[in-house]
Amino acid sequence: MSRGVARVGLDAAGGVQLGGGQDWWRVEGALVVVDGDAVAPHGLPPHAGPTMVAGSDWFKIDGNAVVAAGDVATCGHQTSGSDWMLVP
């Protein structure tokens, strides 16, 4: 099952994806989210400063796993992702 890659500023896992783990690979003009990237705070802990903790086992940018729709942040929320740039 393919899932769309998560993009900074366009996708959210409770709060909008903030990125920070890579600064060059883009989809639809937005940076692609990788493992460890920040998610905007959206409530009390554990939602106060979550990061992405899941990603692709084989699709990596600079050694960091690319995050796709359905991957989870430390707060437990799943992220959304692109409708057309898919990770198998």
Alpha carbons 50 and 72: distance in angstroms, whole number? 10
Query: Model-level pTM?
Result: 0.94
Three-state secondary structure call for residue 28: coil
* pLDDT recorded at residue 52: 98
Q: Identify the domain containing residue 54 by its residue range.
A: 1-80
Residue 51, domain member (yes or no): yes
Alpha carbons 51 and 25: distance in angstroms, whole number? 19
Rg (CA), the chain: 11
Alpha carbons 43 and 57: distance in angstroms, whole number? 30
Alpha carbons 5 and 7: distance in angstroms, whole number? 7
Domain containing 29 — which CATH number?
2.60.200.60
Tally of CB atoms within 10 A around 19: 21
Number of domains in the chain: 1
pLDDT in tens, 27-68: 999 999 999 999 999 999 999 999 999 889 999 999 999 999
Residue 88, domain member (yes or no): no
Residue 85, domain member (yes or no): no
